[in-house]
Structure 1
Amino acid sequence: MRGSWIHYLRGYVTVKLIGGDAERFLNEATAAGLLLWDIAYTGKGPLTFRVTVPDFFRLRPLLKRCGSRTRIAERRGLPFQMARLSRRKTFAAGMLGFVCALFVLSSLVWDVQVEGNRSISEETVLKAAREEGLYPFQWSFRLKDSSELARRLAGRLPDAAWVGVDKTGTKVSITIVESAKPEEKKPEGPRDLVASADAVVTKIVAENGRPKVKANQRVRKGDVLISGFIGEGERRKAVVSKGEVRGIVWYEYKVVSPLKRQVQTLTGETRDRTYLVIGNRALQITGYGAPPFGKSVIHGELKRLSLGNWTLPFGKLVEKEKELGLIEEKLTPAEAKEAGLKRAREAVLARSGSGSEIKAEKLLHEHTDNGKVVLNVLFEVEQSIATERPIIQTPN
């Protein structure tokens, strides 16, 4: 019980006993049922002890009998704290108002986030949540239990296999796991696979249909690679030919690469802006008046206030804007040549489709003209060369 919160609520004082018989005083105080603690007495100095405020006023008869008097060295506890606050009413009212405002604002939902959705739009999820009473600026105590809310949201979202709701402070996260649906396949008609370009076949794998060419065979654009006709005579029929055919295709490119180019870089000029963030809204408080940069990049850092495990809807956003400028960079002929070849490689791979691979490249011609390096390059690319061609059947 000694030094407990009960004593803090009642208030207690630290007392020095001056004069009289200290030993007799302690014996009579014990006999009277007074609770004294933290008693210190060396024999040379005064006796000191702590006593609650109600028991302090019961000491007067004992002090008279012992010929002693007291001096209060320290006052502690809620009654003295309240007495001090009563002398500063404006401060006390402000503190009380701040605590009330903090409690009210932390009891609201300030942000609702949707995670994991791909085909289900965020607007659809937020609309279903609103219909269940979950939306920004809603009172937290009015929300249903998280598991019940998740179950009801799942009933409103038929394309979701599972819905989870997690509330952390003033933020609510809705996690969506969507149902796996088989891909809808369009009906396919009989077809041949034909060459999309002149090439030399390097690989042919026929999943359906009859292969008409072999590896290392040269084909021209439009030649049948895998036929959609199978069988002979009366058993001959048209099918959907499927398979993979790869071949070597040649591309010739003319590349013009300048010996000077403009490069975007940071100039070193920066500007800082500070925003006061309340919920999902921000109010700019610094960084006004400066003329805008022509080009710039902006990096922002958001810091929200927290109270224990609670994240409050207040914070500060600091934006740092950095100016971008253009500088002229001179290249050697070798550097310009390599930059031009790099662009040509990227272009030929984009043109030849996914899975393509440059097997060889040959520089046919190179010269410098009017501050530019001009190149003629022949690329040898292995790529898919099969394209679909429908089989048009005429009635007998």
Structure 2
Amino acid sequence: MFLIRLLRWLFGWVRLEGEGGFPERLLNLTAREEIALWNVRRRGETLSACCPARRYRRLRRPARKAGMRLRVKEKHGAPFLIRRYRARSGLAAGLLAFFVVLHLFAQRTWVIEVRGNETVPTEDILTVMEKLGVREGKNLADLDIPTLQLQALHELPDLAWCTVNLKGSIAYVEVTERIPTPELSDADEPSNIKAARDGRIVSIQTYTGQAMVQAGDAVAQGMLLVSGVVESSAGPVFRRSQAKILAETERRLEVRVPLKETLVLPTGEELLRPSLRLFTLEIPLFTDGPIEEQNTLTVTRHMLEAGGIELPVGIVNRRYALMAPVEVVRTQEEAAALAAERLEEKVNKELAAAEITSRQESGRVEDGCYILSGTYACIEDIGVEEQLLIDNQEPEDGREPGDSPK
């Protein structure tokens, strides 16, 4: 039934009415002429029915023989719809263009989403994928996934597996990160432990190796603290030295803050450069020339979203904050406050592993700068491991090491 109604709509049909004459004879004549009529109804002397639009003209002769007058009441179907809008060719062209563009866009990748990464940055993965041809607006139907996987793993050695799955217009880059093999220290590699800086030993805990100092000893930078050569009844044995050596040390730090200097600072003026983003294409929405002044750039993206997924269509705003050289003059109090802040940052960075037991800080003005110096008494591990080189070269005359010449 649906197919019949669809065919009638495609070819068009009309609803007609006939008056006077003999309706029964008209129906007999149309049946003899094989003219299909449906929804035939009679109300008094009026006969109504439906027939295909292209058969309506063939009803004129049977109507004359039956003495009836026919007229069309309604017109339905695609031919009449097209005739109604044929003057609006732009609308038809627009609809055609819409479906063509929709078909083309349906074959393109709108979104690329990375899944499975924790330590490898998403930006790094997307950069490699773009280099290999996986990008927004690209037709990925003919993509060679096995080859892409091998190339991606070569470019990203921290990945153990990588593939691209297409779901509609979204490309999912599925990755699995490589589990790093723990670096095992080579206990068979002989080494010494030397002092990283001057100090006085507070405590020493030797795990392997021969301790050369004890608590209370003063040591200098580079001095041997634990030896990898251990004496035994069978002679010297080479070991990897392992120890925790805490010592009292004195550290000195210093910062300088000029009382007068020239800095490049924001002027408060901003320039906006918007662009229309369509996949990887950006169309500038401004006519100004290049910016010659010093500036800092801030980029904001206002992209269309569908179902919580950002589409590669929208507006990209680039704001340029203009900057200019400005001469800054500080009072001694302002310079001292800034120096204290910078010195504290330096202490937290360079003495992070040390325990500070006391500190002395002093400031002075010298050569147009405020100089803040600090002396810090610390307790820290001063041991640094150094490989022990062993000369295993045999004598040229073939004698064993230690043999006296004959």
TM bin (shorter chain)? 0.5 to 0.7
Counterpart of 1:232? 232
Listed as ranges, the matches of 1:316-395 within 5 Å are 316-347=315-346, 350=349, 355-363=353-361, 365-369=362-366, 371-393=368-390, 395=401
Would the aligned equivalents of 1:11 and 1:76 in 2 still touch at CA under 8 Å?
no
- What TM-score results when the alignment is normalised by the length of structure 2? 0.63
Pair 1:298–1:246, CA change in 2 (3 A): same
Count of matched residue positions in the alignment of Structure 1 and Structure 2: 357
CA distance in 2, matches of 1:327, 1:128: 43
In the alignment, the residues of structure 1 paired with residue 77 and residue 333 of structure 2 have an alpha-carbon distance, to the nearest angstrom, of 84
1:206 aligns with 2:203: no
Q: Helix, strand or coil for the counterpart of 2:316? A: strand
Larger Rg: 2
Unaligned runs of 5+ in 2: 16-36, 42-49, 57-70, 392-400
Please give the residue correspondences for 1:114-129 in structure 2 after superposition, counting only pairs within 5 Å.
Answer: 116=117, 118=120, 126=129
State the distance in 1 between where 2:311 and 2:40 align: 44
Match of 2:93 in 1: 93
Equivalence for 1:258: 258
In the other structure, the counterpart of 2:149 is: 153
CA drift of 1:167 comes to 3.2
Shift of residue 240 of structure 1? 1.0
Take 1:314 and 1:84, find their aligned partners in 2: how far apart are those partners?
36
Distance 1:197 1:76, change over 3 A: farther
> TM-score, normalization: structure 1?
0.65
**Distance in 1 separating the partners of 2:261 and 2:270:** 25
Q: Quote how far apart the aligned CAs of 1:237 are.
A: 0.9
For structure 1, the 5+ residue unaligned runs are 16-31, 37-50, 58-68
**Pair 1:392–1:309, CA change in 2 (3 A):** closer
Residue type matched to 1:153 in 2? Q
SS in 2 for 1:286: coil
Alpha carbons 1:170, 1:310 under 8 Å: kept = no
Look up the match of 1:25: none
Q: CA RMSD in A?
A: 5.4
CA contact (8 A) 2:295 2:320 kept: no
Q: Which moved more, 1:338-347 or 1:377-386?
A: 338-347
1:158-178 Cα distance to aligned partner (Å, 9 max, x none): 864333434355452423223
Specify whether residues 291 and 189 from structure 1 end up closer, same or farther in structure 2 by C-alpha distance, changes over 3 A only: closer
Aligned identity (percent) is 20
Say if 1:109 and 1:171, in contact at 8 Å, map to a contact too: yes
Provide the C-alpha distance between the structure 1 equivalents of 2:305 and 2:113, rounded to a whole number of angstroms.
19
> CA offset at residue 80 of structure 1?
6.3
Give the Cα separation in 1 of the matches to 2:164 and 2:208: 49
Q: AA paired with 2:95?
A: M
**In the TM superposition, what are the counterparts of 1:27-38 in structure 2 within 5 Å?**
34=39
Q: CA deviation at 1:96?
A: 0.6
* Residue of structure 2 in register with 1:300 after alignment: 300
Pairwise CA distance, 1:386: 1.0
Letter in 2 for 1:381: C
Structure 1 residue identity aligned to 2:385: E
8 Å contact kept, 2:204–2:215: yes
Distance in 1 (CA, whole Å) between partners of 2:141 and 2:289 is 44
- Aligned-pair CA distance for 1:114: 6.3
